[in-house]
Structure 1
């Protein structure tokens, strides 16, 4: 049988000769009963406190687990974002390199085209200059022949006296035409 404060208070002892003082025994039983009741109340309060703290601890464990899950999820997400950013930057760099290569290639092609065009224009200039010189020379010879046929004396032979001047004028004319 389990002792309780009520059982302790109601406990009766048989009387005997030369036995214990009944009042002292009763006082002691009252004191034990009161102390036992206080201990039971305190035990009940402590038990309630333990249950409350256990519930709070369980809640904290749940919160901790949620936080750990959130941290893990955040780490995974940030790792994915970083990986995605790396891949994206690699693609952007590759595209930029391809575009830069195309721009350089196009520029080189344009330079080659321009160099070819300049070379063709120089050849055409040289050809036109030679033709103009030939035309001027033949016209000068024709004029000389007509002057001789007419019996007059030529005043000056510009083409024969200053051939450099003739070259410069022809070059200037050709440059203006081009």
Structure 2
């Protein structure tokens, strides 16, 4: 039953011989009606505030749902980025290991090539030393052979003090021929490779 302030004010009671004082009852009814009207206004105000609070609550719930979805999306994105970063880091590490292995292999190959080059240089050095020894032995043999030539080539035959001009000319020709042979022996060519011996030895050292 819904009761209003006007209904309270207009409420009628039956009269009896020994009943309540009518003025007091009416005054009390007016007081109750006023209070009732005041309470109804408060209730309406509270209902309006409650409706506003419900709207705010729904708004906050929608915001909470959006935040939850945003956080979930951010979490999924972060997990995907983390997985991608781990995968990329593994790829970088694998690539670095492959490059380092390639560098080591290349270094070993170059080291082997340098070693072979050094061995070839050492062999070449031995060849040059052998050529020099052969040249020196040949030069020594030539010198010994030259020193054992007949002394008659370097001395005049015993003749009378008065020799003709023809004999003097023949002696000069023999002397010039001997000098030419000596120069030819001194100008014999050196073995191949010996002319740059000092430079080669400096490079080897």
> Would the TM-score normalized by the shorter structure come out above 0.5?
yes
Structure 1 residues 173 and 56, CA gap change in structure 2 (3 angstroms): closer
1:173 shift after superposition: 6.9
Residue segments in structure 1 that go unaligned for 5+ positions in a row? 153-170
**Helix, strand or coil at the partner of 1:149:** coil
Q: Displaced runs of 4+ in structure 1, greater than 6 A?
A: none
Structure 1 residues 127 and 2, CA gap change in structure 2 (3 angstroms): same
Residue pair 1:129, 1:174 contacting (<8 A) in 2 also: no
Structure 1 residues 50 and 90, CA gap change in structure 2 (3 angstroms): same
Corresponding position: 1:57 with 2:57: yes
1:2 shift after superposition: 2.3
1:75-130 per-position Cα deviation (integer Å, ceiling 9, x unaligned): 11111111111111111111111111111110100000000010011011101211
Match of 2:73 in 1: 73
Match of 1:88 in 2: 88
| Cα distance in 2 for residues equivalent to 1:66 and 1:177 | 79
Q: Which has the higher mean CA deviation after the structures are superposed, 108-117 or 125-134? A: 125-134
Residue segments in structure 2 that go unaligned for 5+ positions in a row? 155-196
Match of 1:175 in 2: 201
Match of 1:122 in 2: 122
More helix by proportion, 1 or 2? 1
Residue pair 1:5, 1:37 contacting (<8 A) in 2 also: yes
Structure 1 residues 176 and 24, CA gap change in structure 2 (3 angstroms): closer
**Helix, strand or coil at the partner of 1:68:** helix
Whose relative contact order is higher, 1 or 2, with alpha carbons under 8 Å and at least 6 apart?
A: 2
TM-score by length of 1: 0.83
Q: What count of residue pairs does the alignment treat as equivalent?
A: 161
1:45 shift after superposition: 0.9
Match of 1:5 in 2: 5
Residue pair 1:128, 1:174 contacting (<8 A) in 2 also: no
TM-score by length of 2: 0.72
